[in-house]
Chains A and B, each alone.
Chain A
Amino acid sequence: MTTQSAAVRKEKTRKKERYGRDLSLGRRLLNQWDIQLMVIPAIIYIFIFCYIPMYGLLMSFQDFSIFKGFWKSPWVGLKHFKAFLAAPDFWNIMRNTVVISLLRIFFGFPAPIILALMLNEVRNRTFKRVIQTVSYLPHFLSWVIVSSFVFSILSVENGSLNLLLLKLNIIKEPISFLDENKYFWSIIVTTGIWKEIGFGSIVYLAAIAGIDPQLYEAASMDGASRTRQIFLITIPCILPVIILFLILAIGDLLSAGFEDLLLLGSNPIQRPVSDVIDTYVYRHGVKTQRFSYATAVGMFKAVISIGLLAGANKLAKKTGNSLW
């Protein structure tokens, strides 16, 4: 049986060699039905789960109703987009989204780079290993658990942070971090850094490991101290990786976070500072079932995001580090 099919295949390859590209497309597809069969189901899957929802974006131009369905719902043009732009919360949501994202880029983006640079200076392998393993831990915890840590650590009654600050005599009275809106942005950004700093450093450590050691040797011959080598060699060498991730971060400017904001900002009192585009879409779409309106808001975000990504990429192209 096997030898027979092998013979058939040999025959096929011989045919292929003889006819080469002359075989019709249908024939060639048939000849490679087995590898097409590996790919086509996945492509159909992607079509259903990714492209049909994209098509579903069209309902942002409709007054979609579940009972009428997509085909019978009336078309209303840009009504929902206009409604969002005119909504009383619009500027507030945009501000929260952009400010939280910018804070993340400003503080959260350099954090893993700095950690990687510091880890790279450690000579003791065990120490390095322990710090790395421990710093990866938060990445593997769910946001449900992380948010409950935050509530527990920051609590007014015996939260660890208040206990620490009281002990160090920095404050006289415990601070109610969770009930005052002015702390919210700091909490959300710090929590994000805490969760991802270790894991985010992996990529930069890998980039640092790829640097040619001769560069360091040459620099130390020229009398550059280790500290100076960080700035003269390490950072310039990993700059392409940094720029790559910065482009992606800029493309995500309108994704200020979702699960974390939903959980940490669950208290409605915090909505003036915690509501961002994604949580707004969730609340209006899923909770109050204004499907068309929420889809319009989501699409508004998706389109701007693509534009931002393309723009950032164009800028990066000038430095020769573009994404595509």
Chain B
Amino acid sequence: MKPSTGDRIVSVIIHILLIIIGFVSIYPFWNAAVISFNNGIDALKGGITFWPREFTLDNYKFVFKDKRLINGFIISVLRTGLGTAGAILCTSIFAYGMSKKELIGRKFYMGMAVFTMYFSGGLIPSYLLIRDLGLVNTFWVMVIPGLISVWNMIVFRTFFKSLPPGLEESAKIDGCTNWGVFFRIVFPLSGPVMATIALFTAVYHWNDWFAPGLYINNPDLLPIQTKLQQIMNSNIMTEQLKQMDSAAAAHLSSLRSVTTKSLTMATMMVATFPILLVYPFLQKYFVKGVMIGSIKE
């Protein structure tokens, strides 16, 4: 059947709207990237939109010379790596146990877990708990509170339940224990769901600036996002200069083309790059993951 004229007009409008949405989605990022590659003093004159006017790598040179930012970057990498690996391991083991029909007390455990999705103690009691546990000002405050996620447990459990039961049975006949079955058979089969949850967890860890800002005073332990937030909050060049080591300060004065804004933009690009590198390739997985999660709502 040929599309009617009305349908064709609608189709054209839809395509135009989608192009606008696509453009608006990417423009702020593009613009920031362009400014980060532009001479900072020149950028202050404004008017930079799609292309750099005076191309330079100085901003990036400066960022990569600033030990505090590099340190923040390393903390972010460590935190994301450990936090994600730990969360995947703990949550998937929990979910595997919960997927067993014969588990005694399963309903009770499930009720206890699901209740926390609807009701929580809130910010202040949690804050005091973290304090009482002695996690304040430690690296682990960024890892431990995220180890178990009820939501992810449900996603994992749904996936484990969908695996053919024959697999486990045959492994058990061969003498595998439940833990053995989990690590040798179920875990390797869970690639897609692991990839999804790993992506979401990693993105959470990488982007979280609030918890470190709340619990950590030691600047050497702050991840890049919190550093970025503090830089933007202070937004005073002199303060940055004061805190910088003298070599970097000397370097800055020799560059003369770097401003707080261009520097912030370059730091932002560095802080976003790892995510940008990963998410487009995991798309088909997380689309599936979101579906499993929403079915099980």
A45 near B147 (CB under 8 angstroms)?
Answer: yes
- Of the candidates A38, A55, A144, the one having the most CB atoms from chain B within 10 angstroms of its own CB is A144
Looking at B113, B128, B261, B275, the one whose CB has the most chain A CB atoms below 10 A away is B128
Is A163 an interface residue when CB atoms closer than 8 A count as contact?
yes
Contact check: which of B21, B26, B91, B291 meets A203 at CB < 8 Å?
A: B291
Q: In the bound complex, what is the Cα–Cα distance between A140 and B93 (angstroms)?
A: 27
Asked whether, in the complex, the Cβ of A140 is within 8 Å of the Cβ of B275, the reply is yes
CA distance A76 to B126 in the complex (A): 21
**Are the CB atoms of A38 and B96 closer together than 8 Å?**
yes
Establish whether residues A294 and B229, one from each chain, have CB atoms under 8 Å apart when the complex forms.
no
Contact mask A264-298 → B, CB, 8 Å, 1/0?
A: 00100000000000100110011000010011001
Q: Does more than half of chain B's interface fall in helix, strand or loop, or is it mixed?
A: helix
Indicate if the CB atoms of B22 and A134 lie closer than 8 Å.
yes
A244 to B297, CA, bound (A): 9
A39 and B98 within 8 A (CB): yes
Q: Could you tell me the distance in whole angstroms from the C-beta of A37 to the nearest C-beta in chain B? A: 8
Nearest chain A CB to B161 CB, angstrom units: 14
In the assembled complex, which residues on chain B have CB atoms less than 8 Å from the CB atom of A225? 3-4, 6-7
Task: Kindly list chain A residues whose C-beta atoms are within 8 Å of the C-beta of B179.
Answer: 34, 38
List the A side residues contacting B175 at CB < 8 Å.
2-3, 5-6
Known: A39-B94, A46-B150. A153 touches B28 (CB 8 A): yes
Q: Please determine whether A144 and B22 come into contact, CB atoms closer than 8 angstroms.
A: no
Q: Are B104 and A119 in contact (CB under 8 A)?
A: no
- Total interface residues on A, using CB and 8 Å? 97
Cα–Cα, bound, A160→B47 (Å) = 8
Which of B55-63, B77-85, B242-250, B279-287 makes up part of the contact surface? B279-287
- The A interface, classified by DSSP as helix, strand, loop or mixed, is helix
Q: Which of B10, B29, B123, B229 contacts A149 (CB 8 A)?
A: B29
Interface centre among B203, B214, B291 (most CB of A within 10 A): B291
B297 touches A323 (CB 8 A): yes
Shortest CB distance B107–A (Å): 12
B120-A53 in contact (CB<8A): yes
Give every chain A residue within 8 A of B172 (Cβ-Cβ): 9
Are B280 and A133 closer than 8 Å at their CB atoms? Answer: yes
Q: Is B129 an interface residue (CB 8 A)?
A: yes
Taking a contact as CB atoms under 8 Å apart, the answer to whether A152 and B102 are in contact is no
Q: Is B232 at the interface (CB under 8 A from chain A)?
A: yes
Judge whether A92 is part of the interface by a CB distance below 8 angstroms: no
Q: Tell me, in angstroms, the Cα distance from A266 to B286 when the chains sit together.
A: 33
Closest approach, in angstroms, between the C-beta of A145 and any C-beta of chain B?
5
B119 touches A302 (CB 8 A): yes
Chain B interfacial positions (CB closer than 8 Å to A): 1, 3-4, 6-7, 10-11, 14-15, 17-19, 21-22, 24-29, 31-32, 35, 45-49, 90-91, 93-94, 96-98, 100, 102-104, 109, 112-113, 116, 118-129, 145, 147-148, 150, 153, 172-175, 177-179, 182, 203, 206-210, 214, 225-226, 228-229, 232-233, 261, 264-265, 268, 271-272, 275-276, 279-280, 283, 286-287, 290-291, 294, 297
> Other CB < 8 Å A-B pairs besides A152-B35, A152-B265, A241-B294, 6 of them?
A34-B177, A54-B125, A118-B14, A152-B28, A152-B32, A194-B25
Q: Which residues of A contact B (CB under 8 A)?
A: 2-3, 5-6, 9, 25, 28-29, 32, 34-39, 41-43, 45-57, 59, 115, 118-119, 121-122, 127, 130-138, 140-145, 147-150, 152-153, 157-158, 160, 163, 194, 197-198, 202-203, 205-206, 220, 225-227, 241, 244, 248, 251, 259, 262-263, 266, 278, 281-282, 285-286, 291, 294-295, 298-299, 301-302, 306, 309, 323
